[in-house]
């Protein structure tokens, strides 16, 4: 996930355009895109397996119906959480969340780091349940968390377009708890609110129309 940074109002003229293309998360079907190490190649997941969203396209999840969303298996949840933890660890604290598309997971969801419990939590298909019009909006720049990351002799050079979004500072959402199969309602602020809005922006609107 790209780091979300508040920027000054004069950036407002450079807000991102609506994407016109969709990229499938799992082009060959299934719940997860293959990561090489899962086939026994390599000693561990490489940092570049994380497909950080840059705001210029939509993810095509392939899973956009309530029946499938509510029947995500516990093993899939565990695998998704492991991947999300791996990707967040590669940013060395530069990102507070991960999107499902970034870990090759077909179920619309966002993974937030819970500082209180020192663990990742999974919000599946979050939807807004209150108008966001009254919430304060901020111009937010999405920065590739790998931009300053060194891995041994390898340094990643970011080529992402530094997209600018207008996000609300608070959102109230209803979502399915990953691993619990129970619904929850929560008001989120700051980075967590930005992350949920980034998730909603990263997936084609038709999917949300089917789920909401």
Where do the structural domains in the chain lie, given as residue ranges? 3-211
Closest to 58 in 3D by CA, of 165, 210, 205: 205
Q: What is the 3-state secondary structure (H, E, C) of 124-160?
A: EEEEECCCCCCCCEEEEEEECCCCCCEECCEECCCCC
The pTM of this model reads 0.83
Mean pLDDT of 185-203: 93
Question: Per mean pLDDT, which of 122-126, 150-154, 162-166 is the most reliable?
Answer: 122-126
Class of 3-211 in CATH: alpha beta
Higher pLDDT, 19 or 161: 19
Say what the pLDDT of residue 1 is. 44
Token pair 């304060």: residue: 136
Say what the pLDDT of residue 17 is. 67
Query: Quick check: 146 pLDDT over 50?
Result: yes
pLDDT tens for residues 60-99?
Answer: 998 899 999 999 999 999 999 999 998 888 887 777 899 9
Query: Quick check: 12 pLDDT over 90?
Result: no
Say what the pLDDT of residue 163 is. 76
């Amino acid at each position: 996930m790209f780091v979300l940074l508040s920027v000054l109002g004069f950036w407002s003229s450079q807000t991102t355009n609506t994407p016109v293309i969709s990229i499938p998360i799992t082009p060959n079907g299934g719940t997860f895109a293959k990561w090489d190490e899962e086939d026994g190649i390599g000693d561990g997941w490489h940092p570049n397996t994380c497909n950080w969203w840059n705001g210029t396209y939509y993810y095509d999840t392939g899973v956009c119906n309530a029946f499938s969303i509510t029947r995500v298996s516990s093993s899939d949840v565990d695998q998704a959480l492991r991947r999300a933890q791996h990707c967040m660890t590669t940013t060395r604290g530069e990102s507070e969340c991960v999107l499902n598309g970034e870990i090759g997971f077909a179920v619309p969801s966002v993974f937030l780091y819970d500082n209180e419990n020192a663990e990742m939590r999974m919000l599946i298909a979050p939807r807004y349940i209150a108008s966001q019009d009254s919430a304060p909006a901020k111009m937010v720049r999405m920065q590739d968390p790998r931009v300053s990351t060194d891995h041994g002799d390898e340094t990643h050079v970011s080529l992402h377009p530094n997209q600018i979004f207008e996000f609300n500072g608070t959102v109230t959402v209803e979502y399915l708890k990953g691993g619990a199969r129970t619904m929850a309602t929560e008001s989120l602020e700051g980075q967590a609110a930005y992350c949920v809005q980034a998730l909603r922006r990263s997936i084609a609107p038709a999917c949300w129309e089917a789920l909401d």
